[in-house]
Amino acid sequence: MTVAVETGLWQLDPARTTVAIKHRTMWGMVNVKGVFAGVTGEGEVQPDGSARGTITLDAASLDTKNRKRDEHLHGSDFFDADRHPSLVFAVRNATVRQDDTVEISGQLTARGISRPQTVTARVTGATASAVTLTAEFTVDREQFGMGWNQLGMIRGLTTVTATLAFTRTSA
């Protein structure tokens, strides 16, 4: 079954959207998990079925349920949210495949550093007025100037898990 997503403008529904991260710390013994509370986005589906758009995360909205750790993550060792308040994924091209996956290529910007990023998402719900995508992918935080690693406690890649719910706008 191939999902047909209507052409036109789409707006991210923040109430039904979740963007979370997970990273192993303490020499691989502990998973730190967090959720971004501030997520916005929009996109446009072209007549050929391809799409472009932007997902923006409020860097200071990351919540790991530990205030002291959150302050450190929001600070200059990591997101530097005062100087770089947003993380942006600019989707250059997204195409739905026959198996209801979506191949997405774009540019991820964090701390003012942009890098190409590809993601495979899955369409988990679609109607004429709403579409939901889920994705899990990894990011190398060191590529974005977040190399803080006291005593080798934090190594490896950060896993990003996203459920993105869009509604069609009347335009």
Question: What pLDDT is stored for residue 156 in this prediction?
Answer: 59
What's the pLDDT tens digit per position in 34-93? 999 999 999 999 988 889 999 999 999 999 999 998 998 898 888 899 999 999 999 999
User: Which H/E stretch holds residue 160?
Assistant: strand 158-168
The answer to whether residue 148 scores a pLDDT higher than 60 is: no
Question: What pLDDT is stored for residue 154 in this prediction?
Answer: 53
Q: Tokens in use for 170?
A: 């009347």
Question: What pLDDT is stored for residue 1 in this prediction?
Answer: 44
Question: What pLDDT is stored for residue 96 in this prediction?
Answer: 85
Is 159 within 8 Å of 136 (Cβ atoms)?
yes
Question: What pLDDT is stored for residue 77 in this prediction?
Answer: 83
The answer to whether residue 158 scores a pLDDT higher than 90 is: no
Three-class secondary structure assignment of 66-98: CHHHHHHHHCCCCCCCCCCCEEEEEEEEEEECC
Domains in the chain, CATH or no CATH each = 8-168 (2.40.128.110)
Going by pLDDT thresholds of 50, 70 and 90, the confidence category of residue 171 is low
**Smallest Cα–Cα separation from 168: which of 5, 1, 4, 11?**
11
- Could you give the CA distance from residue 77 to residue 146 in angstroms, rounded to a whole number? 6
Average pLDDT over the chain reads 87
The answer to whether residue 103 scores a pLDDT higher than 50 is: yes
* pTM for the model: 0.88
Q: How far is C-alpha 131 from the geometric centre of its chain's CA atoms?
A: 16
Question: What pLDDT is stored for residue 151 in this prediction?
Answer: 44
The phi and psi torsions of 18 (rounded to 5 degrees) equal -135, 130
